[in-house]
Amino acid sequence: MSKILVTGCAGFIGSHVCEFLLKRGETVLGIDNINDYYDTSQKTQNLEILKKYANFEFSKEDIRTTSIISKWKPDKICHLASMAGVRYSIKNPKIYVKVNIEGFIHILDEARENNINHIVYASSSSVYGLNTKVPFSETDAIVTPNSPYATSKMAMELYAKTYSQLYNISLLGLRFFSVYGPRGRPDMAPYKFLKAIMDGTKFKKYGDGLSMRDYTYIDDIVDGIISSLENKSNMSCEVINLGNSNPVSL
């Protein structure tokens, strides 16, 4: 069995990935800084689920400064930690540079210095920005980002390509499309829909309601991540769309 480091282990996607790996006997090393972008009690609850497994170890760490990779020497890294939220990034752009870009570079440097050459990381469908061509393809030109969040994910992909070429690290970026499911983030539309229905309140609509979203269930995202961890890409650096391929409008 492998020893796998999962960053952002207390988050929505990270906790599900960890739980899957733990159930099949992998040794999982999880780090998370438990930031307050949304209610930290949800992340604490996610951690309690993971801590029930003897093969799980957790350390509260900031990805920008952590030296845990040197200590733990994992076989593989699943990098899911990041600042999320398109709208929040427009109001607070600097933190996306610090966490998403600088944090990723720090993880890459730690991996390089410890000879870890298999990394799967979270990108986002947001990189397609104002692209009007549908369906989106990995071969589309990525030139029209429309938020600091999207730009930070684009930068991560570029740094991944650079580190892969210079240091012979296998880096696979997964562009997630609107993930939903149990333990989902409260700032995402599916959670807000459900809460409004349960509370009997009106749901605030942004824009004209005609925008399309490719909602993808969490189990499908986990399957894609696990497959990427199990099967090292023949290409040294690659990005893959991970979605449902069935977009719906509001």
Say whether the peptide bond before residue 186 is cis (omega within 30 degrees of 0).
no
Predicted local distance difference test score (pLDDT) of residue 144: 83
Predicted local distance difference test score (pLDDT) of residue 109: 98
Percentage with pLDDT > 70 across the chain: 87
Which listed residue (149, 163, 180, 215) is catalytic? Answer: 149
Does pLDDT of 3 surpass 70?
yes
Question: Which of 164-178, 219-233, 234-248 is least confident?
Answer: 234-248
Check residues 216 and 210 and name the one with the higher pLDDT. 216
DSSP 6-19: EETTTSHHHHHHHH
Predicted local distance difference test score (pLDDT) of residue 209: 56
Q: How many Å apart are CA 185 and CA 183, to the nearest integer?
A: 7
Q: Answer yes or no: are the C-beta atoms of 219 and 242 closer than 8 Å.
A: no
Give the model's confidence band at 231: pLDDT under 50 very low, under 70 low, under 90 confident, else very high. confident
Look up the domain containing 73 and give its range.
Answer: 3-249
Count the Cβ atoms, other than its own, within 10 Å of residue 55: 16
Mean model confidence pLDDT for the chain: 89
pLDDT tens readout for residues 93-145: 999 999 999 999 999 999 999 999 999 999 998 898 887 777 777 777 788 88
Predicted local distance difference test score (pLDDT) of residue 139: 79
Mean pLDDT, rounded, for 47-52: 98
Handedness of CA 126, 128, 133, 137 (dihedral sign): negative
Predicted local distance difference test score (pLDDT) of residue 190: 65
Predicted local distance difference test score (pLDDT) of residue 129: 83
Mean pLDDT, rounded, for 26-35: 97
Predicted local distance difference test score (pLDDT) of residue 130: 81
Does pLDDT of 210 surpass 60?
no
Match 């952002």 to its residue by tokens: 8
Q: pTM (2 decimals)?
A: 0.90
Does pLDDT of 193 surpass 80?
no
Instruction: Retrieve residue 21's tokens.
Output: 């790996």
* Residue 163 a catalytic site member: no
What type of residue sits at position 189?
A: A
For residue 101, the domain's CATH number is 3.40.50.720
Question: Which of 15-29, 39-53, 146-160, 188-202 is least confident?
Answer: 188-202
Q: How many Å apart are CA 160 and CA 119, to the nearest integer?
A: 9
For the chain, the domain total comes to 1
Mean pLDDT, rounded, for 19-47: 95
Q: How many Å apart are CA 75 and CA 57, to the nearest integer?
A: 15
